[in-house]
Structure formats: C-alpha cells, structure tokens
Amino acid sequence: MPRPLSPLTLRGRVMPASTLFQLFLVGAAIALLWLGIGLHLSQERRQFERAAWNNANGVSHGFNESVSRTIEALDQVMMMIRSLYRADRDHFDIRSMAPSDQVPRDLALQMAVTDAKGIMQGSNLGANAGLDLSDREHVRVHMNTPADVLFISKPVLGRVSGKWSIQFTRKLFDQNGAFSGVLVVSLNPAYFARFANGVDIGKGSITLIGMDGVVRVRAPDAPDSLGRVLDDTAMERFRTGPADGEYRHASPVDGIDRLLSYRRMADFPLIAVVGMAADDVFAPYWQDRDRYLLVGALLTVLVALIGAQLISQGMHLARSQRLLSATLDNIGQGVMMVDADGTVPVMNRRVAELLGLPEHLSREGVTFGAILDWQLKSNEFLPNHDGGYDVAALAQSGGLGPLQYERSRKNGVVLDVRTLPLDRGGAVRTYTDITLRKQNEAALEAARDAAESARRAQSDFLAVMSHEIRTPMNGVIGMAGLLIDSDLTQSQRSYASTLREAANSLMQIINDILDFSKLEAREVDLDHAPFDLLHVIRSVMDLMAVKALEKQLWLRMQVASGTPVHLTGDPGRMRQVLFNLVGNALKFTQEGGVTIEVDGKILSDTHATIHITVRDTGIGIPDAAMEHLFKQFYQVDGTSSRGYGGTGLGLAICQRLATRMDGRITVQSTPGIGSAFCFAAPMELDLSAPARKAEQSIAPAEREKAPRSTTRLRILLAEDNITNRLVAITRLEMLGHRVDQVANGVEALQMVQTAPYDLLLMDVMMPEMDGLQATRLIRGLPGPEHDIPIVAMTANVFHHHQEACRAAGMDDFMGKPFTPTQLERLLERTIAGTLRTRAPTSATARADLSNGEAAFATLVDALGREDALHVLKDFTGQARAQIAAMRHSHAAQAWPEISDSAVALHEAAGTLGLDLLAETAQRISHQPAGDQVPGLIDTLQNAVTETEKLVA
C-alpha cells in the first residue's frame, strides 16, 4: 500500500511535513540572502571608512609637514634678523627689511621690534614707535621667561595692521648678550589655510590647533572659528594620546560629522587635524546600499513567490499522492513498485489479494526477495511453464522477469503479469486477474475450432468437387473439340457443337459457384491499381460483340461529358460485374439492343463517383421478383429458367462484388419494355495520369460481321496473366478455334512436343522462361514442331523490340491490347499460310507516310477513327505534361525525375508507333544529365506539335 505522508495541522489545514520543510527552506533562503547582503554592506562600509581614514592621515601628514616647514623658514628669518640686530643695534632699522626677499610678503603681515619693556621701537609698516605691547602675551612671555624659545601666539587682532594674525616672537639681545627687546612677526592665518586649496576634501576640514586648545587656522573658514578653544576631552586626547590618531566627531562649528585624523608636531606646540565629511565618505556606500536593498527586496519577493509556488505544488502533490493512494487501493489491478535495491515502496491492497500475501508481506517497505521466498515456500508457482517461461526458476533467480507473461496460481486464478523497467533501476509491476477472460477465450477457441473445421470441410468439399468436376469437364470439352475437328456429317457436327456449348455452360456454372463461395468466405481480395474506365468498358463490349451480332442486337456505349476516365481500383472485378450485367441484358433481349450509359462526377481532388447503367429492351422483370433479384440461386420463374438457363448466381455475385467496392447495384424494370441495371461506386482518381474527362460520345458495337474462313485452328496460348488469357481465349473461341493454354515458356516448350499446333501465340514477358528463350529452343527442336508459326504478344512495339522477336525466330508480333479485327487478320494469314512469309510491318507498308500519319492510320484500322482520335488526344496531352515536367526537372538538375518522365513518354509513344518520339525520349532516359538534353526536349516538343495536327 502507498506510504502515507506525515501530516501536521496548521490553522485548520493539514500540512504535510514536506510542506513545512519547504517553508523552512524558503525562510532560510531569504535569511541567507539578507545575511549575505548585510555582510557585504558591512565589509563595504569598513572599506570606505578605512579609505577615508587613510586619506585623512595622508592629508594631515602633508598639512603637518607644510606648517612645520613654514614655521621653520619663518624662524630662520627671525634668527637672521636677531643676528643683524645684535651686531649693530644702533643702526638697525626694521623698516628696511620689509621689501627685502628675505621676508616673504605673503607670509608676514607685520614685523616689529620692542625694547625690554615692551614699547615698540619700530615696524615695517611705518612710524609706530612708542606703541606699548607689554600687555600682549607674545611679548610678556619673553619679558617674564628667561628661556630663549620661539613663541607662537593665539590669533590676535593686530593694533597696527588691524588684521587677525598669529604672532611669532623671539627675544632680542644686545652685544653683551643681555635681553634688550622682542622681535615680533605677525603671520596671516590664511597663509596656512592655502594648503586646503590644493587638496580636494569636499566638506572636510583642515585645522591647526595649539597645545593650549586654541584654534590657530581652520579651512574652510567659519565665523568664530579662529581663537576657538576646544573642549577638555578633545585636548586630553591630543595631549596624552599617541602622536597621531583617528576619531569621529561632529564639528560644533558647522555641525558636520567628520572622520578626523590628527598629528602632533614634533618641534612645535601645534596639532594638525584633517577631517573627511562622513556624507562625502559614505555617499557611494549609501548608493550601493540602496541598490543592494532594492535587489534584496526583489529577490526576497521572487524567492517568496517561488517558495509559495513550490509549497502550493507540494501541497497539490501531497493531495495527488493521497488521491493516488486512494485510487491504487480501489482499482481492480494490483500495482507494485520495486526499487533498484529490491525494496517495495508502493504496493496497493489488490496485490496482496491477488497474490494471497500474508499480513507481514502486505505492506510497504518489504523486500521483493521476501515476497518471492514466501511464494516459493508456499508452492505458488505451478510446475508448468506459463506463457513459455519457467516462473519458478525466474523467482529463484530473484529477477523481475520478462516484460509480460501469464501464470496460474494453485487456486486456479490466472494472472497477467507486466513489468515496466525504470531508468535508474527497479521496475513497476502490475497484476491483472484474467481468469474470466481465459475461460471465455477457451470457449471462443473451441467454437472457432468447430467453425474452422466446418469451413475447412466446406472448402475441402468445394475444392475436391471442383477438381473432380473440372477434370472430366475439360475432357468432355476437349473431346468435343476433337470431334468437331474430325470428319463429321452436318448433323453430327451440330451434335458435337451442342455438346461443347453445354459443357462450357456447365463449366461457367462451376465457376459461378466457386466465386460465390469465395465471396461468402470473404476470401476475395480487391486489387488497387490505375486503369482506364473506357478501356475496361470497351473490352467488355469487344467480348460481347459477337453475341450481339449473332442475335442482330445493337451494343453501344454512351459517355456523359465530364466523366473522369483515369481511376484507381480493381479493373478485373469491375469488368466481371459489367460482363455479367451485359451478358444478362443480351440474354434476355430479343429485339433492339443494349446500351451502356456511363456518367461520373468528381467529388474532390482525389475521389469521384461512377454510375454505369446497362439498359436493355428485353422482357423486363415483374415487380414481385424485384426484391428477390439479387438472392443466390434465384430465377424469376420456372419458365425463364428453362428458356434462358443459368444458376441464378450471377447477380448475387455482382451485388457482393459491388458491395466490396463500397458500391451497389440497383435496378429499374418495366415488363415488356426493358430493364436498367445501375452499378454505382466511389472511385479514387489516378493522380499519376494526366487529368482527362470524357466528352459526350456514343461508341457502337454494331459492326458488320465480316465473312470468316470455316477453317478451325488448334492454337497454343502462352500467357502468364490470367485476365489476358481469358480475353484471348474468349476471342479465339468465339471465332471458332480450339485453344490450349500455358503460363510460361517451359510449359509451351513441353506442349508443342505433345500435340500438333497450327499457331503458337507467345507472350514475351513470362516467369521461369520468357517468350524469346522459349522460341529459340522451339526453333532448335528436330521434329516438325520446329516450323510451328509463332507470333509474339507484347506491349513493347518499338523497332528494337520487334527486331529482338524476329531474331529469336518469331514470325510476327501483335501489340497489346489487340482488337478483334487485328486477331482475325492474324488468323486469316495463318490459315492462308502467309504468316511464315514475314509480312511487312505497318511502318514498311506505309513508308510513304510520315511516322505520325502511319501510326494514326494503324490506330484507325484497329480502333476506328473516333477512338483513334481520342487515343491520340490523350497521348498528346500527357506528352505535353511530361515534356513540361522534364524542362522543370532539368532546370532543377533533378536527373532521376527527367529519366522517369522520358521512360514514361518512351513507352507511350512506342505503343502508338510514334518512333521518332519514342527513340528521342529513350535517348534522354539513357543520359538525363547530358548537354544535348535541352535540344532533344525541343525535338520532342516539335514532334508532339506535328502529331496534334493529325487530330486538329
């Protein structure tokens, strides 16, 4: 049984453990996503921050160096001035140094000298003597301190310059080394701020702070920034901390949060502080953060959607699994799945029922081997080989066995076992109870055997009776023929002829019975071949023409305009139906005649419906007999049976053949007026033939009966085609000649040595031995049979075929299909003894005519002018289509298609005697890729045009 899922109830819904696991996976995926984003952003922030510190450190170091060098340079100048002052105090004038190169103008705002009491003695800005500077810190520090040091003051507003400045002061000494005053140099703070102009620090700041906590320089400048005193916390960091360091602080001056880097000067009580604005530092980071947060949000939504879809599918799958479990447990077929390791993960209850498994083996998780072991120990496998397989041996091998087999349990249950191997090992096996089906099959087999036995008995009876009846009948017909050929009186000859006609009638009855039996047993198969409808009908008319002439009746054909001619089906069976209908019509007609009306409609590109009506002016059929007309062995009445004969099977056979062709036969009749039998059937169009529709025409069969010789010939017919043999034999016997038949050249060679024949009609193409080889062997015989006249019957009427026939020893040849007139002329020449003189061919006899004219004249002799015109029109239409196909194939270099079209045109033209066309087409077929092909195609075109003039 299918393994149940572990459910969990959540908010009133049962959620399987797999769904909860999927929820966990979705949550974990989202958490990992944000954890990754957070770690990346944190690392990126630290990178930006570290880069800002490094940048600030570099700038502070540069600022420190710049300030230090500036102060050192200023101190050197002051030391030089002090030396000048000490050397010549009386003549020292500070004003003379203002324009000198030794004191940069952009560095100092003012230089002044005071006496020991702090009274200004002079200044480079002019007469400022007498100004008391003793209250200034930068002067007082030297008056009160014995140390000789450079003092850097806080920013002060100059009394002389009126500008904010930083005072740099040093003691002055007289020649005796005694303190004599103070040298004061006022420096513009903006000079130090110029360093910031060369450094891109955005919203950052550069500050110079004294160790006293007072701001000396700040860039960018801000109100009240100069002289501002830092808080003790900051100064404590500067004074007691490392010489250089970092910290983050929001400036009280402008409120901007900055990352600050400071550096104490080693030689001066100053601190250089450089700050990078946090907004500038973290602006790229904040942009990346926003992008990452957006991407994270989108990915979160995507993961959530995918997770929701997976969870939904999981729940749907779980529901499907529950439904599948319920379905498997309630179907009538046992289902088992076996894994590659032999474990059974799926097994429904029906398996246990069909196999009779005990409780411990009727659950999932058991092994397939355990089930086989139990079956072997329980003798579940019968000793016979079910379905050709030794199931017990199969079970002992532990295999899953063939894909399908049947086996019987010891309780009588028959199982159909099917196995479907899986790609990764293991299989799915099904068990079906087929006990009832096997019982029904056994019953049906017994019934079928009984029916087959009865059918075989019937077939055997018909076969034996056919053989037993045909054998003496052939003897009767043969002996009657010998009697007719012997010297008899007129009355005796009449009796012998009546005897042969009765024997032939009896043979026809036997053939009808056999045909009907085959139709009843559904042993008649229909051919599917292309044919010409009018040709089939004309062949029936040719066979029935003699009978019509004997009764002085007309036999004609009327074809409706637009009737499709080239069809696909079984022409032999259609000919059999029409032969029967026309024969019946002639049989029951004493005056007037029989008309075959042909009408057809095209239904689609591939199909048409054909209506053939056989209308007579005979005795008609009473209304009471109409419903029984197509029943087997039925005659209209006893009188008609005695008057006209027959078995009553002809119409039954015709109706069944029409039904096999998906058609039917209907009848309309008026007693004393006549009857009309209509054969209607759907037909396929022959798409390989050029489209041609019949024009409205009437083809009569009322030719005058030419006087014939009374000499009767004994003829041997060698022909392998049954239909061709039937046509030839019928025509020859209607002309009063005796015919024996064989199916190949071997039999012909044997027959000519057993009986004296007046004529041998030899088919050229036959199995086992063809006509040419048989003729050569006959011409080599030592006896009189060496000189037997031999005429070739062939569809190949080209010159080289004719020459091959004559080279083999044949006396003449007759093209297929041949007409009664051609056959009569051949027999007349045989009777007259002129056949062995090798009469000239039609081409020789008409040497003064063109090839097309000679061919047309031959067709007129054979078919009549109207039919000859139809044949040539059909041929020229087909020839133009084939020539167009050859031109198209030549342009596409499709050489096989050119050859096929040329062969088809070669055969059609040769059959009509159009030698130029045939030989030109043959040259193309032999070398379709040759350079001369376009010219040969033009020759074909011109020849077809000349032929069309004959039928214009």
CA nearest to 211, candidates 248, 241, 185: 241
With a pLDDT cut of 90, the percent of the chain lying above it is 9
Helix (H) or strand (E) run with residue 338 in it: strand 334-338
Degrees (nearest 5) of the Cα angle 862, 864, 865?
Answer: 125
Distance CA 858, CA 815 (A): 11
Axis crossing angle, helix 865-891 with helix 851-863, rounded to the nearest 10: 130
DSSP codes, 132-150: B-TTSHHHHHHHH------
Residue type, 324: L
* pLDDT score recorded for residue 522: 56
Distance CA 364, CA 343 (A): 8
Q: What are phi and psi of 530, to 5 degrees?
A: -70, 145
Q: What is the pLDDT confidence band of residue 226, given thresholds at 50, 70 and 90?
A: confident
Instruction: Count other C-beta atoms under 10 Å from residue 220's C-beta.
Output: 15
Contact 202, 140 (CB under 8 A): no
507 exposure class (CB count in 10 Å sphere: 0-12, 13-18, 19+): middle
Distance CA 777, CA 294 (A): 103
* pLDDT score recorded for residue 10: 40
Degrees (nearest 5) of the Cα angle 757, 760, 764?
Answer: 160
Answer yes or no: is pLDDT of 892 > 60. Answer: yes
Q: What are phi and psi of 581, to 5 degrees?
A: -65, -45
Answer yes or no: is pLDDT of 399 > 70. Answer: no
Question: Residue ranges of the alpha helices (H) in 201-264?
Answer: 232-240
Structure tokens at 131: 């100004």
- Non-local (6+) Cβ contacts of 354 within 8 A are 334, 413, 415, 431, 433
Structure tokens at 150: 């450079």
Question: Residue ranges of the alpha helices (H) in 839-864?
Answer: 842-845, 851-863
Pairing of strands 7-10, 13-16: antiparallel
Write the pLDDT tens digit of every residue in 849-872. Answer: 345 666 666 666 555 566 667 677
Write the pLDDT tens digit of every residue in 622-656. Answer: 877 677 676 654 455 444 334 444 555 677 778 88
Q: What is the pLDDT confidence band of residue 678, given thresholds at 50, 70 and 90?
A: very high
Residue type, 279: D
DSSP codes, 664-717: EEEEEEETTTEEEEEEEEEEEE-TTSPP-EEPSEEEE-------------EEEE
Contact 335, 432 (CB under 8 A): no
Structure tokens at 547: 């009978």
Place of tokens 């995926």: 29
CA 182 to chain centre: 107
Distance CA 576, CA 581 (A): 9
Distance CA 661, CA 569 (A): 8
Write the pLDDT tens digit of every residue in 46-95. Answer: 888 888 888 888 888 888 888 888 888 888 988 998 898 888 888 887 77
The mean pLDDT of 675-680, rounded to a whole number, is 92
* pLDDT score recorded for residue 122: 84
Burial profile 671-705: b = 16 or more Cβ within 10 angstroms, e = fewer: eeebbbbbbbbebebbeebeebebeebebbbeeee
Write the pLDDT tens digit of every residue in 712-735. Answer: 889 999 988 775 677 678 778 878
Q: What are phi and psi of 636, to 5 degrees?
A: -55, -45
Distance CA 259, CA 246 (A): 7
Answer yes or no: is pLDDT of 843 > 60. Answer: no
CA nearest to 793, candidates 771, 773, 774: 771
Q: Per DSSP, what are the bridge partners of residue 262?
A: 245, 273
Distance CA 941, CA 952 (A): 16
* pLDDT score recorded for residue 796: 56
With a pLDDT cut of 70, the percent of the chain lying above it is 76
* pLDDT score recorded for residue 100: 45
Axis crossing angle, helix 820-832 with helix 722-734, rounded to the nearest 10: 60
Mean pLDDT of the chain: 78
The CA–CA distances, whole Å, from 674 to 328, 358, 545, 671 equal 72, 84, 20, 6
Contact 217, 64 (CB under 8 A): no
Which carries the bigger pLDDT value, residue 218 or residue 761? 761
First-to-last CA distance in the chain?
A: 88
719 exposure class (CB count in 10 Å sphere: 0-12, 13-18, 19+): buried
Distance CA 179, CA 169 (A): 14
Contact 652, 516 (CB under 8 A): yes
Q: Per DSSP, what are the bridge partners of residue 173?
A: 179
* pLDDT score recorded for residue 472: 64
Which carries the bigger pLDDT value, residue 202 or residue 516? 202
* pLDDT score recorded for residue 819: 63
Contact 798, 917 (CB under 8 A): no
The mean pLDDT of 660-683, rounded to a whole number, is 89
Structure tokens at 623: 């209304």
Answer yes or no: is pLDDT of 443 > 80. Answer: yes
Answer yes or no: is pLDDT of 611 > 90. Answer: yes
Instruction: Count other C-beta atoms under 10 Å from residue 556's C-beta.
Output: 16
Q: Using the Cα atoms of residue 280, residue 286, residue 291 and residue 294 in order, give the sign of their dihedral.
A: negative
Listed range (277-286, 344-353, 490-499, 737-746) with the worst mean pLDDT: 490-499
Max mean pLDDT range (390-394, 886-890, 899-903): 886-890
Distance CA 603, CA 364 (A): 64
Instruction: Count other C-beta atoms under 10 Å from residue 269's C-beta.
Output: 14
Distance CA 462, CA 460 (A): 5
The mean pLDDT of 7-30, rounded to a whole number, is 66
Answer yes or no: is pLDDT of 123 > 90. Answer: no
Instruction: Count other C-beta atoms under 10 Å from residue 888's C-beta.
Output: 13
Which carries the bigger pLDDT value, residue 683 or residue 472? 683
* pLDDT score recorded for residue 812: 86
Instruction: Count other C-beta atoms under 10 Å from residue 873's C-beta.
Output: 16
Listed range (284-288, 466-470, 481-485, 573-577) with the worst mean pLDDT: 466-470
Q: How many helices (H) and strands (E) in the chain? A: 26, 32
Contact 227, 155 (CB under 8 A): yes
Structure tokens at 542: 């040719």
Query: What does R_g of the chain's alpha carbons equal in angstroms?
Result: 64
Answer yes or no: is pLDDT of 613 > 90. Answer: yes
- Non-local (6+) Cβ contacts of 855 within 8 A are 912, 913, 914
CA nearest to 7, candidates 322, 312, 309: 322
Distance CA 191, CA 202 (A): 20
The mean pLDDT of 312-322, rounded to a whole number, is 75
Place of tokens 């980071």: 285
* pLDDT score recorded for residue 150: 92
Q: What are phi and psi of 601, to 5 degrees?
A: -125, 135
